[in-house]
Structure formats: C-alpha cells, structure tokens
C-alpha cells in the first residue's frame, strides 16, 4: 500500500537550527502524526544539506582545512538531531547529502540526464549570490545586488555545465494549472504562475569548477567539476525514497504527498525540481506546501541578520508543547508571522493557561472532589450534551479538510472554539458546584460528559501537542498509549469507522482519574 510521504527541506549546516527551521519540522511532524492517527502508513523524512560554497566557507571560518569539510559538518549535524529530539519530531529517516547512497543516486541522475542530452557545457557569464546559492542574469541584477537578499553579488565568467530547463516551461505551466493543489496555498501558486508567465526560463547552471569550489559531488562525466548544491540537494527526495536502489520502497513512497518548504525556496521546488523529475521521467510530487517566514522586528530571522532565536532555549524555558503550540497557532500557513517573547507569553496565558490548562485542572479537581476520582456511570435518564456529541462525530473529517493545506492555525482554532472554550462554557453554564450543593443527580452526567470531552480534546490535540495529549490521557486514567490510537483502520486500536469518533464513552465508567500538576501554569511577565 502507498505510504503518505512527507518531507522537510534539507537544512544547510553552516549554522545551528533556529525557529524558522523548527517551524517546518513541527508542521511536518503534526501532518505525519495526523495522517497516522487517521489510519495511514506514513514516512517522514528530514535531513541536512552539506555540500556547496556556503558550507565550505563556514568550514574554513571554523578553522577546518580544505578537504576536511566532512569533519566540520559532522560537528553540526548532531545539533540538528538534538533539536529535533527536544521538539518531539518523530521522523523516520534522517538524510544527509554526504550519505554514500545519496551521492551515488546524484551521480546516476547526472549520468542519465547527460546521456539524454539534457546537460551541456558553455561559458557562464553572470552573477552569483553565495548566501542564497543563486545565479542571476545581467538584467535580473542590474545593481549588482541579489534581488532576493540584497547582498553583493559575485561576478562569474567561467565554463560550466547547464541543465536544459527552458524546454519544459509550457509543460510545467500546464501541470500547475491542471492541478490546483500542486502548489499551496494559492498565493504561492499564483506567484509561480506569475513568474512563468513573465519570464522565459534560462537553462540552469548545475556545476562548479573544482578549481574554485571542490566541496561537492564530482560530475560523473567530468572530474574537473562538482555539481551545484541545489541539484544535489533536491535529489534527496527521491534518493531517500529508494530511487535506483530500492524499488519496493520507492513504489511505496513515490510520488511524495507533501514537500513542506519556506517561501524563499519556492522556485527551486516548484520550477527546477518538477523539471528535473520530468527530465528523469519520474512523477511529480502531489503537493508543495509553502509557509512564510518568522520575522523579528520586521526582519526575517536568519543567521546573517544575527537575530536568531534558538528553539532549545524556548523549550527549556517554556516546555516543548507550549512552543509547538505557539508556532502552529500564531500564524496562518503561507504567511509571515512575528515572533517575540511577549507575544508568546500573551498567547500562552490566554490559550494554554486560561483555556486548556484550566479546563483540565478544574474538571479533574471536581472529579476528585465529587466522585473520589472515579468516573461515574451515566444515569439512565441522562441528558446528553447534544451539540458536542454530534460535533465529535464529524470532527476528524472537518479537521482533516482544514489541515489538508497545512493550516494548523485554523485547525487548532476549531479545536479551541468547538471544544476547549465550549467545554469551559459548559462548566460555567451547568455549574457543577451548585449541582453538588443541591445533590442534583445531573452532576453525574455533567462530569461524565466533561471527562469524555477531555478524552476527545486529548485525541484531537495529539498531532500538535503530543506530550500534553499523553499527559491528559493518563490523568483520565487511560492505560492505552494515545499515539497508537487510530480513528479508522482495521486494527484493534481503531476506535471507529474512517473519520468518525464515537462521541461519548472513550473513558469508561469506573476509570480512576490520576490528577497531576496543572499543565500550563500562568506566566507572570516581569
Ligand atoms: N538547503 C536548502 C534547502 C534544500 S531542500 C532540497 C535551504 N536550507 S536553509 O537551511 O537555508 O533553509 C531551510 C528551510 O528553512 C527553508 O524552507 C527556509 O524557508 C526555512 N527558513 C529559514 N529561515 C526562515 C524563517 N525565518 N522563517 C521560516 N522559515 C525559514 O534553503
């Protein structure tokens, strides 16, 4: 059976990961967990981009000698792995562009394209931006500044190998037009279509003379050149999926379901990569999900701007799920978001301490107080919280529809409005403390409902905040592992038919609550 194959970009190892990188990881992690929960088999791949000029330069700056770059990158990669571990990123495979299997695939792809006549040699005159690893023509860079990052360009006048991309322009345009969900969200799709409408594609320079830069994969047909870092890196999506090495794996994984990327690398993924695949003769990925940037005081967070925030610092200070929640909920997917600790604290206090934390804490406190922590049986005469019960039935499908385009903000918004906030309102309106005082038998029913609501909240939150959801599940006295619960498949752990959750009753009567410390204590800012 085809697996859902999700990828992140491969991160450059010239610096440690920051919040921008963390965001892509968290989105991919949430998508993968969401798909698993819905009953699909998944494969989530991430990794590092280790060749090229930028990395070579960083290696030299760190005191490594030419030819010793691999030892430099080996010092950086563990930091990426450690950060992903702290962020609770459950990937299946970590790909490095220095892996032998990947390098072999790149050489083989180059050979295939060269033999097909898609790669040729000519003198290149133009401009190059080292930080962006991008070529610019005379007309694109009239002021000698990179049109993207506005830094100084380097003049190039040398022989190089070129990949014929110009001949695929119309086919690509047609593919994008015929497949509206190929590039998401729509503003990014329009951006690519606008680019293809207004520019004639120039063949892509895919090599570097070793005399100038040798840290890369040697061309199989000319040992004086190495391949361009982007040509090398993009191939990871198929090499990591077993292309040319493991046919069975490749058939299970390809085409990828979603390449998740940031908007600055849209053209590489939505123009160069599809054309490479067309030239090789491989199907195109299904979706390219493009997010915006995390911005600090109006500037993109990046190493060169010196304004980076280390995800590990945030996790150590506020906890992993609070950090995941902020990134996933504070910005609409596809658009830029502002990061600041003040905004973080504001959102933490409102959504996590007040709404979610409070809901869990007061429900469980009342359970202990009124029922000694044992979930009561629903009385025969029970009135049911009809709205929420019927909402529960269609909820997974509704969330899946919204989250299909990566919009975690809207997805979490639904969970909050329809569940977390509504449940708090239910507590206010039904006032269990009054019912207890009056010895009203409705108390049993209200508390029973609240417990079922909490179980569903834990399940719905699992892809986004796995630790918190596990914690709530456990406090409800549930013994199963929440990560193994499927909304729909044939296994024993499945809790219903595809996309439907039994509304009430996940936590059986008699379950013993084990309340622990409040989930998200309020942060008092100085
Ligand atoms: N190595 C290439 C990708 C090759 S994929 C075949 C690269 N690496 S990167 O480390 O510079 O960027 C990796 C990802 O991080 C990109 O998707 C980029 O958009 C994202 N981000 C880098 N800074 C960012 C922000 N400030 N905010 C959000 N994401 C940003 O490009």
**Taking a C-beta distance cutoff of 8 angstroms, is the pair 325, 412 a contact?**
yes
148 within some domain: no
* Residue 410: φ, ψ to 5°: -65, -35
Is residue 515 predicted with pLDDT exceeding 60?
Answer: yes
Question: Of all helices (H) and strands (E), which one includes residue 159?
Answer: strand 154-163
To test ligand 1's pocket by mutation, which of 6, 8, 9 has the most ligand atoms within 8 angstroms of CB? 9
Report whether 149 contacts 132 (CB < 8 A). yes
C-alpha pair distances (Å), 258 with each of 3, 88, 163, 190, 311:
12, 20, 25, 18, 24
Lowest mean pLDDT among 270-279, 366-375, 382-391: 382-391
Instruction: Give the pLDDT score at 10.
Output: 98
Mutate to test the pocket of ligand 1, among 14, 16, 18, 24 (most ligand atoms within 8 A of CB): 24
* Whether the predicted pLDDT of 461 surpasses 70: yes
The pLDDT of residue 498? 44
- d(CA 191, CA 298) in angstroms, rounded, equals 22
Q: Which atom of ligand 1 is nearest to the CA of 236?
A: 6
49 CB within 6 A, ligand 1: yes
Work out which ligand 1 atom sits closest to the CA atom of 237. Answer: 6
Residue 489 pLDDT > 60: no
| pLDDT the model gives residue 124 | 82
CB 180 within 8 A of CB 153: no
Q: Which atom of ligand 1 is nearest to the CA of 264?
A: 19
Q: Is the CB of 21 under 6 A from ligand 1?
A: yes
Q: CB count, 10 Å around CB of 74?
A: 13
Check if the beta carbon of residue 235 is closer than 8 Å to that of residue 109. yes
Q: Poorest-confidence range of 152-161, 233-242, 336-345, 424-433?
A: 152-161
Q: 264 CA to middle of ligand 1, Å?
A: 7
On the question of pLDDT at 497 being above 50, the answer is no
Please indicate whether residue 25, judged by its CB atom, sits closer than 6 Å to ligand 1: no
Residue 382 has pLDDT above 80, yes or no: no
**Does 379 reside within a domain?**
yes
Would 240 be classed as within a structural domain?
no
Nearest CA to ligand 1 atom 19: 262
Give the count of beta carbons closer than 10 Å to the beta carbon of residue 274. Answer: 23
Strand blocks (E) in 60-210: 93-96, 119-129, 134-136, 154-163, 183-184, 204-205, 207-209
pLDDT band per the 50, 70, 90 thresholds, residue 491 = low
pLDDT digit string, tens, across residues 421-441: 999 999 999 999 999 999 998
Q: Which position has the higher pLDDT, 140 or 246?
A: 246
pLDDT over threshold 90, residue 81: yes
Q: Is 46 in the pocket of ligand 1 (CB under 6 A)?
A: no
| Whole-number percent of the chain with pLDDT over 70 | 94
pLDDT band at 500 (very low <50, low <70, confident <90, very high): very low
pLDDT class of 495 with cuts at 50, 70, 90? low
Mutate to test the pocket of ligand 1, among 19, 46, 49, 299 (most ligand atoms within 8 A of CB): 49
Residue nearest to atom 30 of ligand 1 (CA): 20
- CA 9 / ligand 1 centre spacing (Å): 7
Q: What are phi and psi of 75, to 5 degrees?
A: -80, -25
User: Is residue 401 in a domain?
Assistant: yes
Tell how far the Cα of 22 is from the centroid of ligand 1, in angstroms. Answer: 10
Q: Whose CA is closest to atom 22 on ligand 1?
A: 20
Task: Give 244-303 pLDDT, tens digit per residue.
Answer: 999 999 999 999 999 999 999 999 999 999 999 999 999 999 999 999 999 998 888 777
Q: Whose CA is nearest to atom 29 of ligand 1?
A: 20
Question: What atom in ligand 1 is closest to the CA of residue 261?
Answer: 17
pLDDT for position 499? 44
The per-residue pLDDT of the chain, averaged, comes to 92
- Of 141-145, 382-386, 464-468, which one has max mean pLDDT? 464-468
Which CATH number covers residue 376? 1.10.730.10
Q: Ligand 1, atom 15: nearest CA belongs to which residue? A: 21
* Residue 263 Cα: closest atom of ligand 1: 19
Ligand 1: which of 57, 264, 291, 311 to mutate, judged by most atoms within 8 Å of the beta carbon? 264
Ligand 1 lined by 264 (C-beta under 6 Å): yes
Q: Is the CB of 285 under 6 A from ligand 1?
A: no
Nearest CA to ligand 1 atom 26: 301
CA nearest ligand 1 atom 8, residue:
11
Instruction: Judge whether 264 and 148 are in contact, CB under 8 Å.
Output: yes
**What integer pLDDT is reported at residue 300 of this predicted model?**
83
For residue 273, give the ligand 1 atom closest to its CA.
Answer: 6
Average pLDDT over every residue of 398-420: 94
Residue 41 domain flag: no
CA of 363 to the centre of ligand 1 (A): 42
Counting the structural domains of the chain, the total is 1
Q: Is residue 200 part of a domain?
A: no
Average pLDDT score over residue span 503-507: 74
96 band by pLDDT with thresholds 50, 70 and 90? very high
Distance of alpha carbon 360 from alpha carbon 241, whole angstroms: 42
The verdict on the CB of residue 10 being under 6 Å from ligand 1 is: yes
Question: Measuring CA to CA, which residue among 355, 489, 495 is closest to residue 412?
Answer: 355
Q: Are 493 and 479 contacting, i.e. CB atoms less than 8 angstroms apart? A: no
Q: How far is CA 99 from CA 102, 241, 275, in A?
A: 5, 13, 24
The mean pLDDT of 65-93, rounded to a whole number, is 97
CA 17 to centroid of ligand 1, rounded, Å: 10
What is the reported pLDDT for 20?
Answer: 94
* Inside any domain, residue 205: no
| Ligand 1 contact via 58 beta carbon (within 6 Å) | no
405 found inside a domain: yes
Q: Is the CB of 301 under 6 A from ligand 1?
A: yes
198-207 mean pLDDT: 92
Compute the distance from residue 223 Cα to the ligand 1 centre, in Å: 30
524 alpha carbon – ligand 1 mean position (Å)? 34
Containing structural domain, residue 458? 340-501
Task: Kindly indicate the confidence band of residue 38, based on its pLDDT and cuts at 50, 70 and 90.
Answer: confident
Whole-prediction pTM: 0.94
Mutation probe of ligand 1 site: the residue of 8, 11, 266, 327 with most atoms within 8 A of C-beta: 11
């Amino acid at each position: 059976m085809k697996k859902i194959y999700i990828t992140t970009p491969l991160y450059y190892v010239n610096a440690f990961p920051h919040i921008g990188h963390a965001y892509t990881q968290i989105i991919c992690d949430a998508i993968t967990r969401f798909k698993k929960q819905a009953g699909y088999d998944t494969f989530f791949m991430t990794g590092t981009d280790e060749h090229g000029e930028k990395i070579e330069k960083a290696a030299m700056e760190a005191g490594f000698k030419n030819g010793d770059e691999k030892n430099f990158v080996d010092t950086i990669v563990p930091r990426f792995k450690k950060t992903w571990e702290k962020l609770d990123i459950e990937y299946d495979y970590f790909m490095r562009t220095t892996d032998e299997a990947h390098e072999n695939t790149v050489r083989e792809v180059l050979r295939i394209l060269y033999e097909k006549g898609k790669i040729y040699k000519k003198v290149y005159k133009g401009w190059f931006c080292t930080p962006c690893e991008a070529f610019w023509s005379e007309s694109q860079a009239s002021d000698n500044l990179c049109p993207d990052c506005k830094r100084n360009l380097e003049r190039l006048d040398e022989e190089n190998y070129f990949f014929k991309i110009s001949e695929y322009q119309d086919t690509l345009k047609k593919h994008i037009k015929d497949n509206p969900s190929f590039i998401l969200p729509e503003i990014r799709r329009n951006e690519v279509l606008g680019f293809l409408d207004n520019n004639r594609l120039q063949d892509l320079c895919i090599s570097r003379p070793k005399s100038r830069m040798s840290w890369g994969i040697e061309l199989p047909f000319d040992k004086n050149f190495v391949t361009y870092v982007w040509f090398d890196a993009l191939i990871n999506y198929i090499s990591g999926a077993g292309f040319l090495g493991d046919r069975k794996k490749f058939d299970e994984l390809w085409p990828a379901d979603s390449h998740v990327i940031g908007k600055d690398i849209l053209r590489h993924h939505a123009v160069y990569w599809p054309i490479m695949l067309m030239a090789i003769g491989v199907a195109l990925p299904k979706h390219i999900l493009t997010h915006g940037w995390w911005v600090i005081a109006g500037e993109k967070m990046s190493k060169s701007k010196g304004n980076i925030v280390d995800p590990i610092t945030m996790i150590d200070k506020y906890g992993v799920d609070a950090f995941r929640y902020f990134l996933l909920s504070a910005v609409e997917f596809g658009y830029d978001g502002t990061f600041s600790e003040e905004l973080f604290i504001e959102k933490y206090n409102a959504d996590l301490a007040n709404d979610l934390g409070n809901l869990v804490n007061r429900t469980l406190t009342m359970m202990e107080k009124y029922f000694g922590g044992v979930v009561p049986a629903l009385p025969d005469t029970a009135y049911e919280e009809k709205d929420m019960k019927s909402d529960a039935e269609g909820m997974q499908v509704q969330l899946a529809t919204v989250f299909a385009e990566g919009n975690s903000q809207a997805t979490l918004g639904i969970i909050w409005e329809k569940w977390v906030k509504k449940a708090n309102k239910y507590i206010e309106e039904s006032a269990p403390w009054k019912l207890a005082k009056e010895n009203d038998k409705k108390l049993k029913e209200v508390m029973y409902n609240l417990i079922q609501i909490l179980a569903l909240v834990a399940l719905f939150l699992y892809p986004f905040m796995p630790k918190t959801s596990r914690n709530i599940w456990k406090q409800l006295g549930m013994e199963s592992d929440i990560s193994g619960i499927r909304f729909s498949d044939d296994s024993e752990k499945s809790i219903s038919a595809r996309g439907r959750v039994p509304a009430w009753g996940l936590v059986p009567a008699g379950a013993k609550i084990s309340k622990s410390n409040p989930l998200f204590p309020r942060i008092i800012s100085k």
